[in-house]
Amino acid sequence: MIPRVLQAILLLHCLVQLTKAQRGTCCESYCYNDDTERKQVKHFATKTVYEFIRAPDTDRQHIVPNCVPVKFWLLSRHGTRLPGKSEIIEMPKQLKLLQDSIMDNYFTRRSVPDNGRMCDEDLEMLRNWHWDPNITERYDAHLTEQGWEDLKYLAVRAKEKFWQVFGTGYQPSKFTFRHTATQRTEASFKAFAEGLFGREESQRVKPTPATTPDLLLKPYDACPDYETNKNRDTQDGNSEVNKFLRSVLFTETVWDISQRLGFRHNLSVEQIEVMWDACRYEQAWRISRPSPFCTVFTEDQVRVLEYKEDLAYFYRNSYGYSRSQDIACHAMADMLRQLTSRDDPSVVAYFTHDSEIQLFLAALGAKRDSTPIRADNFPFMANRKYTSSDIPFTANVAAVKYQCAEQREPEKVIFFLNEKPIMLDWCSVGLCNWSDVKRQYQRFTEGNCDRMYCQSSGAAASVSVAHVAVGVVGSLLLASMRHLTLH
């Protein structure tokens, strides 16, 4: 009980300090152009750049002494894509209006704050911004050139690391590929094949056709319970993400962003999100060139925006949703079946979407915190395991099986997320005994996935009484702080 009380007191202290700080000056002094680190680019949620997240080229954790890789199974998200049709229609108009208003605020109305205003270099970048006219509705949600490169070189690195499995050329019996029925996943498959076999030979690589419904790679599309839970997340005023949108922390962040840009009123959440989307998309399209709209946000503000998306995804695709560990049943069963077989194919690679990657990680039991993220515990979750920024464009989970010289446990498995070993509690620094893998996930091989993956349920995950109690206390504390905010 005492730790809970201390947690509540600490939360109240954080909120008081936040309010005091923002009453004195509106904004943190920050210049994007002068920031050589830009740590926030690793916190762009599911629109994070893969190159910023993946394991470095010097990483050697795939090497296991006295072991040889014999099977490679991959579940990959598509690479960097263009926005959807509605975004391509609306974003240029909204961004132009915001750009013009910010310039007017700084150079005509002069309504900018005395402290924390944007630096001249950042303003100049924003003044010169324009929408790329080549991005039209015709190419909605298409894979970009950077997306192609990310998948191609993911394949190149995989082949270099696990050359014993991949061999030197394409043999149809040795490789299995499959993608969903979208341009961006099909193009991702083709880029990956080019990375493995070269441009000419990759032309003869044929993937396994997608099915309808696609229970292997898009099972959530055929699950009414998933859709019901997803809608509840947006429509229920008491969902964690909606409570966070009403919290003191988030409303103060909105005020801070608005004031720094020279607005005398709060921008809408939609206006802030369209600027953040522009920042994230443009950074992902051209990773060596900063997006002008990234100058709008400080690192702390980005962390708050990331947390909002974490809440949405956590209660939709992860442990906050009671069915999350079952929906990827077909993919889990496929992985276990492929790793069990001593026959070809030796390499299996599937290309899907961010929701399937998150659901698969939940089925694995990866990235699970002892305390779930909630609207009221942001200050205490800075070092959380779960974050949507671990699912960037090209996010991927690989399962590699090794044959080892050890007599007692000769078969081992490493699960990789974005080319880095996943640390599971029942494995040794990421290296798992195959016997433990089979035992840990036996319900996926022994159960009926057609029945298990989408059983009807009450949707949102059950939360312990203690968590509910702390949530109520946190909400009351957040509400009690509002009258202290003087703007």
Residue 3 lies in a domain: no
pLDDT digits (tens, 9 = 90+) for 199-253: 999 999 999 999 999 999 999 999 999 999 999 888 999 999 999 999 999 999 9
What domain range is 345 assigned to?
A: 40-484
pLDDT digits (tens, 9 = 90+) for 299-349: 999 999 999 999 999 999 999 999 999 999 999 999 999 999 999 999 999
Query: The CATH number of the domain where 440 resides is what?
Result: 3.40.50.1240
Residue 15 lies in a domain: no
Sorted by sequence, the CB contacts under 8 Å of residue 466 that are 6+ apart come out as 4
Q: How far apart are CA 184 and CA 119, in angstroms?
A: 38
> Greater confidence, 136 or 475?
136
* Percent of residues, the chain, with pLDDT higher than 70: 88
Residue 232 lies in a domain: yes
* Whether the predicted pLDDT of 83 surpasses 70: yes
> Greater confidence, 103 or 29?
103
CA within 13 Å, CB half, 314: 25
Nearest to residue 276, comparing CAs of 257, 297, 255? 297
Residue 8 lies in a domain: no
Q: Could you tell me the pLDDT band of residue 456, with boundaries at 50, 70 and 90?
A: low
Q: How far apart are CA 182 and CA 78, in angstroms?
A: 10
Residue 240 lies in a domain: yes
Average pLDDT score over the chain = 91
Q: Could you tell me the pLDDT band of residue 11, with boundaries at 50, 70 and 90?
A: low
> Greater confidence, 200 or 6?
200
Residue 97 lies in a domain: yes
Q: What is the pLDDT of residue 462?
A: 35
Q: What is the pLDDT of residue 458?
A: 38
- Consecutive H or E run containing 316: helix 299-317
* Whether the predicted pLDDT of 454 surpasses 60: yes
Are 285 and 146 within 8 A, CB to CB?
Answer: yes
Nearest to residue 175, comparing CAs of 146, 204, 145, 207? 207
State the average pLDDT over residues 97-121: 94
Residue 98 lies in a domain: yes
Catalytic residues: 78, 354
pLDDT digits (tens, 9 = 90+) for 146-193: 999 999 999 999 999 999 999 999 999 999 999 999 999 999 999 999
Residues in the chain: 487
* Percent of residues, the chain, with pLDDT higher than 90: 85
Q: Could you tell me the pLDDT band of residue 17, with boundaries at 50, 70 and 90?
A: very low
Beta bridge partners of 321: 460
* Whether the predicted pLDDT of 479 surpasses 60: no
Amino acid at the residue 217: L
The total domain count for the chain is 1
- Consecutive H or E run containing 42: none
Task: Choose the weakest-confidence range: 193-207, 255-269, 463-477.
Answer: 463-477
Q: Answer yes or no: pTM beyond 0.85.
A: yes
Residue 29 lies in a domain: no
